[in-house]
Structure 1
Amino acid sequence: MTVQPVAEQAVVLRLSGSIDVRGAGELGRELGPRLRRADERGQRLVLDMSGVRRLSSTAVDTLDAHTRHRTAGPVLVTGATPQVRGVLTTTHLPGIRLYPTLEGALATVCAGGPAPAPAAPERPRTPESPEPPVAGEARDTVGETSGEVLGLRAKARTSGIIGIAQGILMARYGLPDPAAAFALLRAGSQHHNVPLRVLASAVVTAPPPRTAREWFPGRLHTPPPPVGPQDVEAVNPRDRRQMLTAAVYAAVTLADADAAEIHLTDAGQDEALVLEAHHGLDAAYRDCLALVAGPPAVCARAQAAGRPVTVPDVAADPALAGHPVGRAVLAAGSRALYATPMVTAAGGCGGVVCVHRADPGVWLTEGQTAALDALARDLAAWRSWYRRTVVQDALEYLHAHGSSGG
């Protein structure tokens, strides 16, 4: 167990290894004092379980005994592996909230927003009694979301990574307070037209500056790669929003689709998929798929497999039919999906292009799938260029102005 304070709002207790019966006792002896100390300081306790390989039933009982009374101020659990998550989600733990990433949990704490619903055991459902949201997963918000709620959730998803970037800039350049760090971030974002969240993620994940004068000395500026079809090729490649908007419309046209979406990976959030462009999808669906940390979402399946994934009928897909993601797809009017990963020349995945069809069945021709796959490869090459050119230009701006006190 290691402890890491995070600003004034939270403290992170990192767990690792297999927590068996003996480990459960150690966890209990550590957890009680930590919770009391956090309460005294007005902090939230976050358990980072990304390093936990196995969680015994005794450990789950220990967690429940120390947290069951904390429904108003639950303990946030992040990074759980599928095995650990399965154990936690099949047990009713009213004082625990699950988040896929540490950044997501810290974003909620820093934003002061509502925590997701607690994990609950499976129980039979009927069409009249839909399943409640699953903590930490994409949530079924159809019919219940308002613009205000969606705005709060969107803010919570970005405030965590921005706050971490502010802390890095303050420490690196001796800035007096978070406001000064945010002003520097905002100036770099506006000067190079890089979204604030994207620049903050780059600050968090990039290696430290190599020299006092340059962040990346000796780097070469290469021309942008071509991105077809023609309407995408005509867009300024330095304009991220226009490029992705043109690409999502091109995907709809190429696939004769009813809707489409483009997710990009975010290194600052453990390569989770972030929804960056969309067409023909309602607000509730976009909220549900705004941040995807893993399957069963089809974009995450394509990312994990490194190849295209087809779902002929979401309503008949075993993993999607009863899941909040699947219900969000159906509520948005889609039945069939095709997702193709944006595979880079080095073999990594930079994102996923996904197209929707209102009618079930495999509708794409061989030529259409080839065109979509080519578009995804072109976008992968463009995104790699954008990150090492435009984003690094913005980082150089931060380094120059931060070092000079400007």
Structure 2
Amino acid sequence: MTETFKPGAWGTDDPRDELARLRDQIRHLRAQARNRPPIAEAQGILKERYRLPDAEAAFALLQLASQRYNVRLRTLAHAVLRLDRPDHGAETWFPGRVRHPAPALESLAIDDASHAHRGAVLGALLSQTLAITTTHMGNVQIGDHSTGGLWLEKHAGLSDDFVDFFGFVGGDGTSCAQAAQEVAQVTVRDVATDPVFTEDARRTILEAGSRAAHSVPLVAGGRCVGMVSAHFERPIHDLHAAQLKALEQTGREVGRWLAWYDRTVVLDALEHLHAAARHPGLRPARRR
């Protein structure tokens, strides 16, 4: 394993620099540990399915589809794991698939929702939520179809320790998990006293400078597909009715769009992967 040193990394005896470096390294390793299992499992499935020479060839297929359709590797890997395999010898993975137009994203002022980049949509969602709630701290999470948990994908104004701790959230112990279960907005008026949190979660949130939070589920077909949360520096009372209505509208718009994205853009990427796997001339040689 090689390590890249930033200019000026040598020649300092400050133990705080070493502590910061070690914390960054631990966060990086934890992120890898979260992402590697589904990607490695997807590599094994693709290697067996398409009789590829090794796992590297399978990764190259995932990477090819990821770059072509601008879909995250982890998103593609999870899709490979949860979707039924294509019929043996089938030219397409999803025959007879009906394409639908993208749902509008009027609350985010995005005109062409069908060509919007997923990262840009989530970024606009976070900005809109922070504007409605008049705070500078918040985060966006995406639902995990297999576990029911939430993956952190966008954040603003939050500490590295917060991002590391809440990189993946399970089914309980946080207000966002409660909002996902209830498919309803949840307000935490004071993080220090609200019983919804585990003690580790509470400590991490407080150390990040958040004393209150409000979570909004991203809803499609009555189920939670993601979450956007705003954090506040001081305890709060309930949000105003107009704020709750605006947040609900945005959550439903983005939730419907994310569901469309999963059954359209992600499936397009998998179709491309399937075609490249079936026709060796289209395959990338190795991992780049």
TM-score by length of 1: 0.62
Unaligned runs of at least 5 residues, structure 2: 1-19, 284-288
- Distance apart, 1:145 and its partner CA: 6.6
Partner residue in 2 for 1:385: 260
CA-to-aligned-CA distance 1:76-119 (integer Å, 9 cap, x gap)? xxxxxxxxxxxxxxxxxxxxxxxxxxxxxxxxxxxxxxxxxxxx
2:42 is matched with which residue: 151, 165, 186?
165
Partner residue in 2 for 1:11: none
Amino acid at match of 2:106: G
2:269 is matched with which residue: 394, 397, 403?
394
Amino acid at match of 1:245: G
Partner residue in 1 for 2:142: 264
CA gap 1:327/1:182 in 2 versus in 1, 3 angstroms: same
Partner residue in 1 for 2:118: 240
How many Å separate the matches in 1 of 2:68 and 2:93?
Answer: 17
- Count how many residue pairs are aligned between Structure 1 and Structure 2: 262
Which segments of structure 1 move beyond 3 Å, counting only runs of 4 or more? 230-238
2:210 counterpart of 1:334: yes
Alignment of 1:354-369 (within 5 A): 354-362=229-237, 364-369=239-244
2:127 counterpart of 1:275: no
TM-score by length of 2: 0.86
Q: Which deviates more, 186-195 or 356-365?
A: 356-365
- Distance apart, 1:221 and its partner CA: 2.1
2:100 is matched with which residue: 222, 229, 244?
222
Partner residue in 2 for 1:286: 163
CA gap 1:237/1:364 in 2 versus in 1, 3 angstroms: farther
2:19 counterpart of 1:149: no
* Contact 2:105–2:113 (CA under 8 A) maintained in structure 1: no
2:21 counterpart of 1:183: no
- Distance apart, 1:343 and its partner CA: 1.8
2:190 counterpart of 1:313: yes
CA gap 1:314/1:234 in 2 versus in 1, 3 angstroms: farther
Partner residue in 2 for 1:325: 201
Partner residue in 1 for 2:86: 209
- Distance apart, 1:148 and its partner CA: 1.2
Alignment of 1:52-131 (within 5 A): none
Structure of greater Rg: 1
Q: SS of the counterpart of 2:135? A: coil
Q: SS of the counterpart of 2:204? A: helix
Unaligned runs of at least 5 residues, structure 1: 1-142
How many Å separate the matches in 2 of 1:145 and 1:357?
Answer: 29
* Contact 1:236–1:243 (CA under 8 A) maintained in structure 2: no
The higher-RCO structure (CA 8 Å, 6+ apart) is 2
* Contact 2:108–2:128 (CA under 8 A) maintained in structure 1: no
- Distance apart, 1:235 and its partner CA: 6.8
- Distance apart, 1:223 and its partner CA: 1.8
How many Å separate the matches in 2 of 1:276 and 1:147?
Answer: 18
* Contact 2:103–2:113 (CA under 8 A) maintained in structure 1: no
- Distance apart, 1:317 and its partner CA: 1.2
* Contact 2:152–2:167 (CA under 8 A) maintained in structure 1: yes
2:69 counterpart of 1:192: yes
- 1 or 2, which has the higher strand percentage? 1
- 1 or 2, which has the higher helix percentage? 2
* Contact 1:238–1:386 (CA under 8 A) maintained in structure 2: no
